[in-house]
Amino acid sequence: MGPEVLHHVVVAGGSGLVGTPLVETLLAQGTKVSVLSRNPSGLSVPAGVSARSYEELPGVLEGTDAVINLAGASIAGKRWNETYKRELVESRVGTTSRLVKAMAACAAGPKVLVNASAIGFYGPRDGRAISEQDPEGKSFLAVLCAAWEKAADEAQKSGIRVVKVRSGVVLSRTGGALAKMVFPMKFFQGAKLGNGQQGFSWIHIDDIVGLYIEAARNNGWSGPINGTAPRPLTNETFTQLLGARMHRPVMPIPAFLTEMGVKLLLGEMASEVLEGAFVYPRQALKWGFPFKFEKAEDALADLLP
């Protein structure tokens, strides 16, 4: 088993940080793309892309090769409370279950589901290396990711190949975590978070897009795969590399002050930021995926020229 040609791919959540360049890359490769949206009429998509509604399921899936599911409310979009937690769960688990049922109902539907997940699956960890064989954690985000993946795995009952991409911190020039780190650094206010020794498991936008596409086209890929670069860093080291790239100093702010600030700003979500994990892409390396950016300094040089 090996790579197949992707003629038509359906992308759920195709207008976000990862979805936008993913759709553009598929188009550049000659693949027809349909994007699922709750509001297709208000969605801005590239020429040649079809914006479709979830109400059109399962028909929109007939005759397609793969579904790439990136749908979900932003983890860092709002401060977590019980209402937003329910939205985070429903937008991921509920949407995935809906897609899986639609795929099963197709007469000639997609044979693979590539489903987004996150390294939050593992929860905050100590300094040891984490791979796909490690169990789920116990935090809210870990429980959410586990339920999300379980919903995707239901597709296997219909003979559909399932790949779950546990994404790390995606570094992109168009927004996301890097933009949030760059902004204070511009004003000489960049600093490590907490003690700075927590794991920072990152990936360049080009590599996460490449992982999704390879997962869709390669029949030898299945199960969980860590969407992280091969060389995770501590938060402190990454912050120092970012400061050097921007020619800005890293402020020597005491750990308790940054911890206090993060907790006040993020609430319950703060533990995910302050503790972190060192997550390695063992499966991607085993399957021979060619990472373009293994070192954070190379990724920053590309994204912040």
Compute the CA torsion angle 93, 98, 103, 105 (nearest 10 deg): 140
The distance in angstroms from the start CA to the end CA of the chain is: 40
pLDDT at 55 over 90: yes
Work out the mean pLDDT of the chain and round it to a whole number: 88
| Spatial distance between the Cα atoms of 272 and 123, rounded to a whole number of angstroms | 7
Query: Exposure of 214 by Cβ count < 10 A (0-12 exposed, 13-18 middle, 19+ buried)?
Result: buried
The yes-or-no verdict on residue 163 having pLDDT over 60 is yes
Give the residue, 209 or 43, on which the prediction is more confident.
209
Average pLDDT over residues 134-144: 93
Lowest mean pLDDT among 201-215, 262-276, 284-298: 262-276
pLDDT value, residue 259 = 53
Residue with tokens 């997609």: 110
Ordered by start, the domain boundaries in the chain are 8-303
Whether residue 100 contacts residue 114, with contact meaning beta carbons closer than 8 Å, is answered with no
Cα separation of 137 and 202, whole Å?
A: 19
Task: Answer yes or no: is pLDDT of 11 > 80.
Answer: yes
3 state DSSP class of 39: coil
* Interatomic CA distance for residues 113 and 281, integer angstroms: 20
| pLDDT reported for residue 268 | 59
pLDDT given for residue 81 in this prediction: 85
Three-state DSSP class for 196?
coil
Give strand ranges (E) for the chain: 8-12, 32-37, 50-53, 66-69, 112-118, 129-130, 161-167, 169-172, 175, 199-200, 202-204, 223-227, 233-234, 278-279
Query: Alpha-carbon distance 27 to 219, whole Å?
Result: 21
Where is average pLDDT lowest: 53-62, 176-185, 216-225, 295-304?
176-185
Q: What percent of the chain stands above pLDDT 70?
A: 89
Stated pTM of the model: 0.92
For Cα atoms 139, 100, 34, give the angle at the middle one, nearest 5 degrees. 105
Which top CATH class is 8-303? alpha beta
Residues forming a β-bridge with 11: 35, 68
Distances (CA, A) of 194 to 121, 140, 170, 262: 22, 21, 21, 9
Q: Dihedrals φ, ψ of 173, to 5°?
A: -85, -5
Give tens-digit pLDDT for 106-119: 999 999 999 999 99
Quickly count helices (H) and strands (E) in the chain: 11, 14
Rounded mean pLDDT, 228-256 = 83
**Does the pLDDT at position 289 exceed 80?**
yes
Across 83-97, 130-144, 164-178, 235-249, least confident range = 235-249
